[in-house]
Amino acid sequence: LRKEDPDNAPPRNWTDDLVEQGRLGQKTQAGVFDYKEGDRTPVPSSEVDALIAKFRKENGIQSRDISDQEILERCMYIMVNEGAKILEEGIAARPLDVDVIWIYGYGFPVYRGGVLFWADSVGLKTIYDKVSQIHQETGSDTWKPAALLEKLAKEGKGFYS
Which helix (H) or strand (E) is 20 found in, with range?
helix 14-20
Residues of the chain with pLDDT under 50: none
Same domain, 135 and 89: yes
Same domain, 102 and 127: yes
What residues make up the domain containing 79?
A: 68-155
Single out the residue in 59, 77, 96 at which a domain terminates.
Answer: 59
Same domain, 11 and 82: no
Q: Say if 149 falls within a structural domain.
A: yes
Same domain, 55 and 99: no
Same domain, 46 and 84: no
Q: Say if 161 falls within a structural domain.
A: no
Angle at 88 between CA 82 and CA 93, to 5 degrees: 100
Give residue 159's pLDDT.
98
Q: Give exposure, 39-57, as e/b (b: 16+ Cβ within 10 Å).
A: eeeeeebeebeebbeebee
Same domain, 25 and 84: no
pTM comes to: 0.77
pLDDT 10s digits, 104-132: 999 999 999 999 999 999 999 999 999 99
Q: Say if 81 falls within a structural domain.
A: yes
Q: Domain count for the chain, please give it.
A: 2
Give residue 28's pLDDT.
93
Same domain, 95 and 48: no
Same domain, 109 and 137: yes
Same domain, 114 and 150: yes
Q: Say if 102 falls within a structural domain.
A: yes
Single out the residue in 16, 36, 59 at which a domain terminates.
Answer: 59
Same domain, 73 and 22: no
Determine the distance from the C-alpha atom of residue 153 to the mean position of all C-alpha atoms in its chain, rounded to a whole number. 21
SS3 call for 144: coil
